[in-house]
Amino acid sequence: MTMAFSPPDTSSLERAAYLVGYPIAHSKSPSLHHAIYSAMGQSWGQCLCETTDLEGFLAYLKSDPKCMGSGVTMPFKVAVIPHLDQLTNESKAIGAVNTIFFKTAADGSRIYCGTNTDCVGIRDAFFTNVKGSSYRGKPGLVVGGGGTCRAAIYTLQKFMGCSPVYIVNRDVGEVEAVLRECHAQGMDDDLVYYVSTREQAEQLPPPRAIVSAVPDFLPVTEDEKTARDVLAALLESGDKGALLEMCYHPSPDTEISRLATACGWQVIGGIEAMIGQGLAQASLWTGRDIDDRLRDVARKAVQEAMVSAH
C-alpha cells in the first residue's frame, strides 16, 4: 500500500517536531511531547506524519521553518540513513535511526543528524524503576531478533555493563543476522550468543536483566514453543532480576509479562522505555535538560492517552 505524504497542520504551533512512519495512528508520542512542551510553557508539539513516502516527508522537513526535528519509526529506521549528513555512535552501532536532530554548520547551514534514543529509553526504564541493582558483569538477555533487539544489546552492554548477552528467538535466521552485525562491530562470540535449547539454558549463569522485544503471541509452531520454553528455563533459574516488556500496545499484559511475574521477576512496562526515548528526543530538539518533573508529566500524559484509547 502506498500512502503519499501530506503535510500536517501546524498552524497552532510555534515550533513542530514530527514522527514519520507507517502505520502510526496508534502512537502516543505526540501526547508525550505535547505534555513536555506545555510544561515548559511553550506552544510546541509533535505531529504524526503517517506515510510511505519517505522522500516526500524529508523534502517537507527540510523546507519547514518551524521544524525542530523528527522521530522516525518503522519502516524507515534504516531507510532514512542515506539521507542524513551525520550519524551518532549509537545509531552506527545499532544500525538504525529513530531520531533526526539538527546541528548548525560554520556557514550557518543545517546539518541533518541521525541518532537512536531507543537505547536511552531501555536504559532509563531499568535505572528509574529498579532500585539498587547492579548489572555489571552479570548476564543480560534479549528476546527477539528484530530492530529493537539491536538497541537492547547495545544498551545491555554499553550502558549497563551486562556480560554476556544471551539471545532467545524463534527465528534462527534473524539471530544469525544479529550475530553477524555484532561481530562486524568487533564483539566476540562470548559477548553475545544464541540460546536455542532448554538444556543449554539450564547450564548457563542466569540473566539479571531481560529485554523482551517481540509482539505478544501464544506460541503455536515448534520454533515458537521451543523459544518460549528456553525463556521459561532462564526465568526459572537463579536470582530474579527485572524484565522490560517492550510490547505495550494494545495491552502491557502479555504472555511473557505474565510468565515473568509468575517466576518472581519484576516486570517493567514498555511505556517506560517509550517515555525515556521521547525525553531524550525532546532534549535534543529543544536543547533543554529533562528532569524528573518532566518525566512524571510525560508518564501521566502517556498513561492518560492509553486509557482514552481503550
> Which residues are annotated as catalytic?
77
Rg of the chain in Å (alpha carbons): 20
| Type of residue found at 162 | C
Full DSSP string of 4-52: -------TT-SEEEEEEESS-TT--HHHHHHHHHHHTT--EEEEEEE-S
Q: Is the dihedral of CA 58, 62, 63, 65 positive or negative?
A: positive
What are the Cα distances from residue 153, in Å, to 58, 105, 217, 248?
29, 33, 22, 20
Residue 147: how many CB atoms within 10 A of its CB? 21
Angle between helix axes 270-286 and 292-309 (nearest 10 degrees) is 120
Distance CA 152, CA 12 (A): 37
**Spatial distance between the Cα atoms of 37 and 279, rounded to a whole number of angstroms:** 11
Residue 169 backbone dihedrals phi, psi, to 5 degrees: -160, 150
Q: Which three cell numbers stand for residue 173?
A: 535466521
